[in-house]
Amino acid sequence: MRVLFLGDIVGRTARNEVIEKLPSLRDELGLDFIVVNCENAAGGFGITPKICEALFAAGADVLTTGNHVWDKKEIIDYIADEPRLLRPLNMAEGTTGNGIAKVTNANGQSLVAANLMTNLFMAPNDPVFAALNDVLVRNKLGRDADFILIDVHGEATSEKMALGHYADGRASLVVGTHTHVPTADHRILVGGTAYQTDAGMCGDYDSVIGMDKASATERFIGRGSSRLSVALGPVTLCGVIVETGESGLASAIYPLRRGGVLAAG
């Protein structure tokens, strides 16, 4: 199988680029599934039902999110009825929506995607390691899914790495989101799980993590008072492609970087 994961979409220009490019990427790369983190797709903060529907129509099989999932209140009713849109699984019990989804393609192949939020430097959530273990006890490669993907949304690289090793041999891919910067450590761990600390964002990299660089820099200096706005320059699509064999474990992982100012990958 071949699965593409795209990192956080930031703003209108980036989401339009993703929507435009997804069908051709599926054909070009021979993809069986596409999973996209969409939590910043609506003006850089949150996601709306209309954007979700456009991403699904373009070919996304599952959408993941993170700490900005509730920034647009209209998503609350939608996420309750749309199992393919995930919020972090380890949010408090009773939170609207689901943190895990299973989808099947026309060839009968199945993918389980789980969305988790880390604990370090993030808003309080239930313990992430316990939540991850529960996912992987309940969902086993070969028995419950042909591919298991874990989106680990968080700040600390050390915590993400530990989660990758904790899932090694039990998931097809553990990939980080949230920092909007693609890391260069894509690899297959010793137990056969593909891993990358952060997939990066789909957005304008001539920016400060997708936001207008002038206003963001002024805020750091202490002179900025206006709300951050999304940078609208050329978009780089960032993500990872993972290939698996019959076991569901990874046989290859490749970075994907298309367009914009980053070197192609």
Residue 223 pLDDT greater than 90, yes or no: no
pLDDT tens per residue across span 7-65: 999 999 999 999 999 999 999 999 999 999 999 999 999 999 999 999 999 999 999 99
Per-residue pLDDT at 222 = 85
For the question of whether the overall pTM of this predicted structure is more than 0.85, the answer is yes
The answer to whether 165 touches 189, Cβ cutoff 8 Å, is yes
Q: What six digits make up the tokens of 173?
A: 């891919």
The span from the CA of 82 to the CA of 30, in Å, is 26
pLDDT in tens, 154-213: 999 999 999 999 999 999 999 999 999 999 999 999 999 999 999 999 999 999 999 999
- 153 tagged catalytic: no
Which residues lie across from 9 on neighbouring strands? 202
How far apart are alpha carbons 42 and 49 in whole angstroms?
10
List of domains in the chain: 2-258 (3.60.21.10)
